[in-house]
A and B are shown apart, each in its own frame.
Chain A
Amino acid sequence: EADMPVAMAPQLNSIVLLQLNGRMTAEEISKGLEMAQTAIKRINQMQTEALKRRYRVEPEGLET
């Protein structure tokens, strides 16, 4: 039984915070990190979309 907080910089494929409380085998850690990466990428996507929605500016028509 364990809990493992993970924070990543997804575009750099790097972990920035990692802590394990509990017991896990190397395989479990590997699987856990994979699952964390998938979730983090999804969250990162949602963050980017939210920022785009909020700050999107419709381009004005071109003036000739």
Chain B
Amino acid sequence: MSLGLEKRGYGIKIMKNKVYDLLKLGKRIDEREPLEFREISITTKVVDKADGSALVSLGKTKILTGIKVEVGSPFPDRPNEGVFTVNAELLPLASKSFEPGPPDERAIELSRIVDRVIRESKAIELDKLSLIPGQKVYMIYIDCYVLDYDGNYFDAAVLSAVAALATMTLPVYRVSEGKVELVPGERTKLPLRSIPVSVTMGLIRDKIVVDPIPAEEEVADTVVTIGYDSEGVISAVQKSSPGLLPVGMFGEMVKIGLTTSEKLRKKVLEVVGSG
């Protein structure tokens, strides 16, 4: 074992004690309240050539989501539904620990979380995206790019994907003689029935913090992301890091997350409007 690893171990222990001591006083190292999110800014329609896009800053974490639409074949077991897929990438410029290449475990995990939060909340009305049932449906490609990493790319990615979906437009197609034809110049909104959001929380001994920064993520016992739909029903849970999660603490997280999710949803609606 190299000296470097040992040093790092002590470094983490010292940092953890510092973070925890502050939390006992109700403070965090960046002076936020334990249940306070960093400043969020959401800008939509930032990529002209994409059908939808949104750039989200959560503190210094930045995520850009772009959405492209094509026409394709539905899944055989869901012939009347449109299809969407999520692909997230951790761009090398965003962090020393992101390398170029095919998506690693963390990128795949991020893709899955964003996908589940949106899919299980049934936010996209997929049954309205069929053109010729069983043959041609809208295919929605949601691509999330982590541009700058300063903790919690989970919630930032969900916010940006949802904001992009809420402000995107679909090309319009006319079906004639069994063929699908593009109607040039016409666009329509994506049928979206709700605004799902996620809340990521870190557990440091017996303290829960919301929207962790890297220093907190590193010392946390574990980090959990919970997705909530507009009715407050949980649409995704992911314990995304190793470590022990006492059952009682998870229950607390579900409650804390619910209250915080309502604030996040409000923020998204402010930007995208309810229409």
Contacts and interface: CB of A to CB of B under 8 A. Distances in A.
B224 interface: yes
Contact of B234 (A20, A33, A37): A20
B115 to A, nearest CB: 10
A20 B233 CA distance: 12
B244 A29 contact: no
Nearest to A37: B247
Q: What are the 4 A-B residue pairs with the smallest beta carbon separation, nearest first?
A: A20-B237, A14-B244, A18-B239, A15-B245
B76 interface: no
Contact of B224 (A2, A13, A18, A37): A18
B149 to A, nearest CB: 23
B229 interface: yes
Contacts of A14: 244-247
B254 A22 contact: no
Contacts of A17: 239
A43 B232 CA distance: 33
B236 interface: yes
B233 A21 contact: no
Interface in A6-41: 8-9, 12-26, 29-30, 33, 37
A12 B245 CA distance: 10
B239 A19 contact: yes
B255 interface: yes
A26 B255 contact: yes
18 contacts: A4-B237, A15-B250, A16-B239, A16-B242, A18-B224, A19-B238, A20-B235, A20-B237, A20-B238, A21-B116, A21-B236, A23-B120, A23-B121, A23-B233, A23-B234, A25-B232, A25-B233, A26-B258
